[in-house]
Amino acid sequence: MTSYGFFLGCMIPLRLQNFEASVRKVLPAFNIDLLPLNGAGCCPDPIGIQSLDQTTWFSLGARNIAIAEEMGYDMLTLCNGCFETLKTTNHELKHDPTLKEEVNAILSQINKEFKGDIKVRHIVEILFEEIGPEKIKDMVKQPLQNLKVAVHYGCHLIRPSAILAFDDPERPQSLDVLVEALGATSIPYLKKMECCGTGIRSIDMDSALQMTRQKLIEMKRVGADCIVTVCPFCFIQFDVGQFQIQKQLKEEYNIPVIYYMELLGLAMGLEPKELGLDTHRIKTKKLLERLFSS
């Protein structure tokens, strides 16, 4: 059994409990144990907080890492933004003694210390590098044949590539391979590597929805049955965003959005409701009926 300090972040407990539910249902089958990081806080956000005050950003991230260090376990996160913040903090403080000293002076006020002796991992890294596609194939009980998937990686899973050091930042393959390990087909589409728009939702909703719309147009054009992502913010942008696009732009796409761990759980034979698929705004019922009608 491999154990990780489980970093949930903010958005998953608040709005996307289906992410946590699917992970907790699936990972025990791969002998992975998730341990609570008691006292952990916001990662914090890699866009807003870092833009305002980078020292605060590093210090808050280091505080969370210090909690995992005290437990003696690597961190596992489900969120792309949390992954970028925590892994960047971990990397920079390990390689910059002056920054590490500055941050530790701040952490000393709450009796914490960043030491730099653990790793920060994303769930996709664990699935692709530690478990591997072949082992995932072996766990499939209900192959997702004839399912055409539009994969969306999200910006913060693979960039900044020099620090995150996971997959090719221009032509990543990991999530596509993991989708196809379930029997589905990952289909190519234009604008695949472009941002979904969630990063500017709070300052320019119209532009954010246009970015989402452009991706949805291309996904629909190639006949995608669903969108698969691994980021809570990207998930919301596509799931809730489709309703906002319908209301504001009078365009309907109705492409279900599925978190990869939900898709993996379905292929392993778990029930949709126990994976949280009934919580999605874009309903998955028709898609599931078509997949499992035989």
35 pLDDT above the threshold of 80: yes
Average pLDDT on 285-290 reads 94
Query: For the segment 178-234, what is each residue's pLDDT rounded down to a tens digit?
Result: 999 999 999 999 999 999 999 899 899 999 999 999 999 999 999 999 999 999 999
The Cα–Cα gap between 241 and 6 comes to 28
Average pLDDT on 265-285 reads 96
51 pLDDT above the threshold of 90: no
The Cα–Cα gap between 170 and 244 comes to 29
CATH topology of domain 133-292: Rossmann fold (3.40.50)
Beta carbons of 228 and 148 less than 8 angstroms apart: no
Query: For the segment 2-26, what is each residue's pLDDT rounded down to a tens digit?
Result: 999 999 999 999 999 999 999 999 9
Neighbours of 55 (CB within 10 A): 11
Q: How far is CA 116 from CA 15, 64, 78, 107, 242, in A?
A: 31, 12, 21, 14, 42
CATH 3.30.70.260 fits 2-123, yes or no: no
pLDDT score at 294: 59
CB proximity list for 14: less than 8 A, separation 6 or greater: none
Global pTM value: 0.96
Q: Where are the domains of the chain?
A: 2-123, 133-292
The Cα–Cα gap between 211 and 46 comes to 20
Across the chain, mean pLDDT equals: 96
Query: For the segment 135-171, what is each residue's pLDDT rounded down to a tens digit?
Result: 999 999 999 999 999 999 999 999 999 999 999 999 9
